[in-house]
Amino acid sequence: MKNANLYKAISISIFLGLFITKWKWVFNFIGINFPESPSESIITHEYYFGLLAAIALGFSFPKHPTHCGIWLMFGPVLITHTIFIFMHGVPNMWPVELFLLALLTIPYVILSYVGSLIRLRLQSKPRSQV
């Protein structure tokens, strides 16, 4: 199958993105509770973990860095917003939210390319013979 690696990259990106953004849900499901710390910033510590994950995904899938970067951010947001829309309806600030999502996705794509370039450089270096 020609696109199997692409589908694997997208699936892992979505799963990893869901785990990074919704880790509190996972731990609450297991029975571990974390105190809620309200933050007024749009960029939280999950965003920084996502940047590291973008580099790792780009390194793992060097032929699909764009897909990894986009789906790492867009996949979890698509799933959680779909649930929110079914429960509460479309938010009033939906266009602004889409614009911010697009802006916040750009660093993920760039860092996926960085991870991909690191992998390709490491593979292209000739190994010294002992």
Q: For residue range 88-126, what is the model confidence (pLDDT) as tens digits?
A: 888 888 888 888 888 988 999 999 999 999 999 998 877
Assess if residue 96 is contained within a domain. yes
Average pLDDT over residues 56-81: 92
19 found inside a domain:
yes
Domain carrying residue 99: 4-34+44-124
In a domain, 30, yes or no: yes
- The total of structural domains in the chain comes to 1
Alpha carbon distance 1, 74 (integer Å): 25
Per the domain annotation, does 23 fall within a domain? yes
In a domain? residue 8:
yes
Residue 92: predicted pLDDT: 85
Q: Is residue 39 part of a domain?
A: no
- Enter the DSSP assignment of 125: S
114 lies in some domain: yes
Per the CB < 8 A criterion, the answer to whether 57 and 111 are in contact is no
- Domain-located, residue 130: no
CB 80 within 8 A of CB 22: yes
Q: Cβ(42)–Cβ(96) under 8 Å?
A: no
DSSP 57-104: HHHH-TT-HHHHHHHHHHHHHHHHHHHHHHHH---TTHHHHHHHHHHH
Q: Is the dihedral of CA 119, 123, 128, 130 positive or negative?
A: positive
pLDDT, tens only, 39-54: 666 567 788 888 999 9
Q: 1-26 in b/e burial notation, b at 16+ Cβ within 10 A?
A: eeeeeeeebbebbbebbbebbbeeee
